[in-house]
Structure 1
């Protein structure tokens, strides 16, 4: 199974992961956010619904995505653009979009201040 991991991580932890990757310990399919608020700014409820629908769906058009989630095509296009920019979705040569993962794993911990 190919999963995308979304993580919230401090600068120090991000640097540690970078150094590990530099030493040959890859962290594939990992997208790191500095805070939970940044994670949830990108991944709104509507975008989660879009990713859920696209998981395992293969390449589809934005219009087809809008029809499947029963949302306005302009709103879905805005969500697709944000997810493309973040590297979560991919666009192919036929101008179709794809979520190339079988699952999403979110990894962060809420601790007392």
Structure 2
């Protein structure tokens, strides 16, 4: 199953992870990296993956390239609003723009984060 992992982590941790992965790749190690999308905060994640957008992404999962009309029908929403959400998801890198429309190239999403009380 092709899974996208969504993480909350600081910018510094994101950079450190990229550097570790790059160093491993340069040595020919670590070829089994999982697709990951990181956000610096809950708010940043929620701006991109608001409930209606998450509904779109999940409706698209595993279906290949879809037109705006097809996505709107899947989520039972207005085409104009779905098109706006798809544009936002493409700009954020979550959804791909294809020759035939839009695609979410994963079968599922795994959310990986901890939330703690403010100090």
Determine whether 1:19 maps to 2:19: yes
Q: Does 1:47 align with 2:53?
A: yes
SS in 1 for 2:7: strand
**Which whole-Å CA distance do the structure 2 matches of 1:32 and 1:65 have between them?**
25
What is residue 108 of structure 1 aligned with on the other side? 113
Give structure 1 stretches of 5+ with no counterpart.
none
After TM superposition, the runs of 4+ consecutive aligned structure 1 residues lying more than 6 A away are: none
Unmatched runs of 5 consecutive residues or more in structure 2: 25-29
Q: Does 1:99 align with 2:98?
A: no
Aligned to 2:3: 3
Q: 1 CA distance for matches of 2:21 and 2:45?
A: 23
CA distance in 2 between partners of 1:57 and 1:50 (Å): 12
1:35 aligns with 2:41: yes
Q: What TM-score comes out, normalization by structure 2 length? A: 0.86
Give the superposition deviation at 1:19.
1.6
The within-5 A match list for 1:69-80 is 69-80=75-86
* Distance apart, 1:11 and its partner CA: 2.4
How many angstroms does 1:28 deviate by?
Answer: 3.9
* Local SS of the residue matching 1:85: helix
